[in-house]
Amino acid sequence: MTRKKRILIVLGLVTLLIVVDHVTKWVALHYLKDSGNVHVFLGDLFRLQYAENTGAFLSLGANLPGSARAFVMIGMNTVILAGVMVYLFAAKYITWMPMLALVCIAGGGVGNLIDRVLRDGRVVDFMNMGINLGGFSLRTGIFNVADVAIMAGLFLIIFNELTGLRGGQNTNNEAQKG
């Protein structure tokens, strides 16, 4: 794949992830925020409920002082996401799975970063999953589409490393064609 084609694919997929993330957040803001209701589906396996998160994954960092939280959640994330995008654009050779993984991370990261900038450091969350077995309940934190994209990207990276699907001979053939 040529670099120009890769850049167009990366930009298209990152943009698509951001749009889907923000459309779903818009729906959550307009239909869940003021209702205060929790909508339960599939026997409480899946819930829709509005929440705002000032921290990162599972509210990590939410208790930091405001300026430190802004530095970490906006400043550092901006630098990291810019680095990911530069790598995606500039890498001479990247196979499809690592590219897709980094696109998911970048798209989700930018989606949440936009929220933080526009919503005074908060991110809109609205999905929750879990199981209830008798008196035992196991639930995820409340999350959004951007979080799902970021986690999918991380799982793709782990899967790629564990399975050894790094392109192998294909990468060498592409490098010779390049």
- Cite the active site residues: 125, 147
Interatomic CA distance for residues 32 and 98, integer angstroms: 35
Torsion sign (Cα): 139, 141, 145, 150: negative
Both structure tokens of 169: 């001979």
Contacts of 175 (CB under 8 A, 6+ apart): 92, 93
DSSP notation for 62-98: TTS-HHHHHIIIIIIHHHHHHHHHHHHHH-S---HHH
The single-letter code of the amino acid at 52 is E
Determine the distance from the C-alpha atom of residue 17 to the mean position of all C-alpha atoms in its chain, rounded to a whole number. 9
Give the torsion through C-alpha atoms of 151, 153, 156, 160, to 10 deg: -130
